[in-house]
Structure 1
């Protein structure tokens, strides 16, 4: 059956992020300390593909370049036909390109602010490791863990998957209209200014009855246009806290955390890479499906977290507060 040209391009989930780094060895060391590992290398080591513990072939692509640059988040589409339609329908989109040493095809395009975004199809899936299975937790009344001790190691926090990424944009409506016109994205939460102006959107992938992450993509209007952060799911808050201490001991720059978000409910921990791209570990996020209607809430720091440190200076602009460098 031919899909009407007015039907949205069907996204299945997020696949990976793509960045260019002026100092690739330094970026590689950070990403390994952040909990990823290299699975593919090409162009004489100038392009590195990092995987987590989840099913995706890789979750981050780092490419060497003269300057550091954001090259976009990458959505996995359902079918090759979706990818071909995207190439034909989205203004300025590329033709199908080779996606990686693992195979697959890639299409790149730019949003209304000229920010890059990507679609991929045909990547192989990895076997999910048994180390991602949950441990039993003893609560005050229910105590299923009897005679079993929990012992941890000081090590990087293993990344499972890419959960979401966010952009700073010039116009809420242009960005919202673009992504909802071409893709099966739906707003879970929209934040508004005191005058009712829409200023930020938390978008989930509309998979009908299927339960999906509270948001896979978000955007917020800002005087600065560019990436805000990308976020990777981890197993639980214990490995997340151990990973926080690991990054702190390595001397990396913290952004914000550890704390608990309100929208999405995730336990969060934000860090800056050596070239100041913001990345996040998160655990225990909310799920939604098509039974949930879009919520409208007032924007403000008080809507960002229920506990944790105060929102740091520069966080919403994705600009490091130099007073935090080397602290956590």
Structure 2
């Protein structure tokens, strides 16, 4: 696709408008290791077989995390919910799309399988049966200097894995940044909430939200960052309050899992965050108190820097953005430098200066 407009921008007439992030899909060689981490992280097991593991939060979704048994570990893709059958029919006409098919996963419904320009699988989902919510503790009452609302009471958050409410967002790194940003804006109506740029003005990170009109949407459901190969960066899961974030850190430390970064508060999105690595080094974020925007809010533009990642908390460690170099990734890097208009040595040097 030849682009005539620098991305990311809103598309004036998208094919569809996604209404929710439905689930993530991973391949893992060891389902036992996967379920141990994910349960300690706070996700609840829905079903577990020899070849498939499904997990959920407490929100009204049958599942939000899919793990398939496979010989190699990898991030496969994700599902986006759309609002009607006509959306699926329109997406099924795109190059490389599957036919509209029944989903074999809990809740049923119909799905069209697509592949984005960076090679990630994207399932468009419609018509799932309603799911029941599960109970979770309410936010703890908080005494401030202006409002004392907890009198003759104490704070005692439960000492167990935090209850994940829902899957919040996914962050991907891309070689073909411009084309991939344009694809999600054109075909799923995603809106860039904030864009981070290099000193020369080149955009390198796009925080993209759902277009829900007057209904508030998360600051970002999908974030796309310029990289040298397409890869998973992290995914984020909402918990009820900051005490849940803190208790999550305590529990995961006691269980022996690897901490990645936190606790802190982001600038773009404002979430209180804490990041952990699963057994394969893939990052998972607990968060609370994220920004919500309606559709009319314009896109913000900001300089990209390590300091722009958080308002407070520990500085982002260099290991957080350190690439995983393998023989295959080095070959891919060299190929992408020759092929992708978005990837240049000067851009890689600029990003390395900031994050390496």
In the superposition, the TM-score normalised over structure 2's length comes to 0.83
CA deviation digits over 1:199-249, x for unaligned, max 9? 110000011111110000001001232111111111111011111111111
Which whole-Å deviations, capped at 9, do the CAs of 1:44-66 have from their partners, x for residues lacking one? 43111101111111110111111
Structure 2 alignment gaps of length 5 or more: 1-12, 326-356
- Whole-Å separation in 1 of the counterparts to 2:104 and 2:207: 27
3-state DSSP class of the match of 1:31? helix
Picking from 164, 169, 185, the partner of 1:164 is 169
> Secondary structure of the equivalent of 1:159?
coil
Aligned to 1:245: 250
* Number of residue equivalences: 312
Gaps of 5+ in 1: 1-5, 321-328
Question: Once superposed, what is the RMSD of the aligned Cα atoms?
Answer: 1.7
Asked if 1:229 corresponds to 2:234, the answer is yes
Runs of 4+ in 1 over 4 A off after TM superposition: 317-320
Q: TM-score, normalised by structure 1?
A: 0.90
Counterpart Cα distance in 2 of 1:191 and 1:291? 20
> How far apart are 1:181 and its partner, in Å?
0.9
C-alpha separation in 2, matches of 1:84 and 1:40: 30
1:136 and 2:137 are equivalent in the alignment: no
Q: Deviations over 1:250-293 (max 9, x none)?
A: 11111111111000000111111101221111110001012311
The match for 2:37 is: 30
1:132, CA displacement in angstroms? 4.5
Q: Distance in 1 between matches of 2:311 and 2:165?
A: 25
- Structure 2 contact 107–131 (Cα < 8 Å) conserved: no
- Alignment counterpart, residue 260 of structure 2, candidates 237, 255, 259: 255
**d(CA) in 2 for partners of 1:224 and 1:172?**
10
Kindly indicate whether the alpha-carbon contact (under 8 Å) linking 1:56 and 1:124 is maintained by their aligned counterparts in 2. Answer: no
Q: How does 1:67-216 map to 2 (within 5 A)?
A: 67-89=72-94, 91-97=95-101, 98-216=103-221
Higher helix share: 2
